[in-house]
Amino acid sequence: MLNKPALHGLFIVLALSASLPALADVDGQQLYRQHCVKCHAEDGRANTMRGWLYFAQNLSKAKWQDNNSDSDILEAIQDGPGAMPDYADKLSEAEQLALVRAVRDLRKP
């Protein structure tokens, strides 16, 4: 029997594999620049005035990346924790998954 984290991981894998053709058409980096840069900055370090004001998460930290699964990131995109807006109804599933990949690409050692 699978535990809850395993089920979330399985869901992400299935969602990603089901939407691979759609993901090819979605530019996650462009979506990140359009929706996330104003708070999280181009490099993900949240060192913008708006990021400081709203306590935006530094997405580039290896520790943060290690402690958050793809499903955690997807949930944050969908639900908008804290002052972050939610994107569940604003972005398609393929766009949300492309943003997860873009956030993963921000990891710094």
> Nearest CA to 94 among 28, 43, 36, 32?
28
Hey, what amino acid is at 8? H
pTM above 0.95, yes or no: no
For residue 63 the two structure tokens come to 């520790």
Query: Looking at residues 12-19, what average pLDDT do you find?
Result: 60
Distance from C-alpha of 56 to C-alpha of 4, rounded to nearest angstrom = 27
pLDDT tens-digit readout, 60-102: 999 999 999 999 999 999 999 999 999 999 999 999 999 999 9
Distance from C-alpha of 22 to C-alpha of 94, rounded to nearest angstrom = 6
The structural architecture, per CATH, of the domain 4-104 is: Orthogonal Bundle (1.10)
- The pLDDT of residue 29 is 97
